[in-house]
Amino acid sequence: MIKAVFFDLDGTLYDRDALVLKVIEAQFVDFQTELQGLSQSTFIERILELDDHGYGDKFELYQKVAQEWRLHPGLAERLVRHFWRSYDENCQPDADTLSTLQSLRAHGKKVGVITNGTTERQRKKLECLSLVPFLDVVLISEAEGMRKPDERIFRLATERCGVIPEESAFVGDHPEVDVAGSLAAGMTSIWKRVPYWSMRIENVSVVDKLSEILPICL
């Protein structure tokens, strides 16, 4: 029986790519006069490419495009600040996420997040998403000194919830970082399907929205 359910954060508990697109569309409008005549499509496509679904460092990203497009040297830092300010202002969970977490808690399941990233930024996202009240544990790679897919971070999460891996499920969008890592730790692994990564691991449950995990986990 599943006693605890753990989630990846970005791309799993909220639609990160949709949010980033919204942020950089607004960014182009706000900085258009300083972008040396760049078209909106060029700006958006290059930023999304370098962002790499969240795996690209934002400071390095904007430094790179500032050099490529010969922008004012100080503009990169302002773009980074604008990105995160707009990100936080628009970071919201959808109704399906909230109802899923509510159902898990109502059925007495432990709920947690295991995420790679910096402690300050990932905690800020959880606060903006208003998800903290639903969570028993939050493990962030920077704070723990280990990153997914290292199976130790998954096992540590189960220990903090007082369960064993075999009593736990993990839901994530990345085939290697989330699915392979949690499987190696002995957990039930569920892939939240995304269009930009392919699942090559067999015998893994696949969902398109979070509420589809409930028949597996309850």
pLDDT above 90 coverage of the chain, percent? 98
For residue 40, name the pLDDT band (cuts at 50, 70, 90).
very high
Condensed to tens digits (0 to 9), the pLDDT of residues 154-169 reads 999 999 999 999 999 9
Task: Give the residue extent of every domain in the chain.
Answer: 4-15+92-217, 16-90
Phi-psi region of 52 (alpha: psi -120 to 50; beta: other; left: phi over 0): left
CATH class as words, domain 4-15+92-217: alpha beta
Is the pTM above the cut of 0.85?
yes
For residue 73, name the pLDDT band (cuts at 50, 70, 90).
confident
Segment 183-195 shows an average pLDDT of: 97
What average pLDDT is seen over the chain? Answer: 97
Segment 13-24 shows an average pLDDT of: 97
Q: Is residue 115 predicted with pLDDT exceeding 90?
A: yes
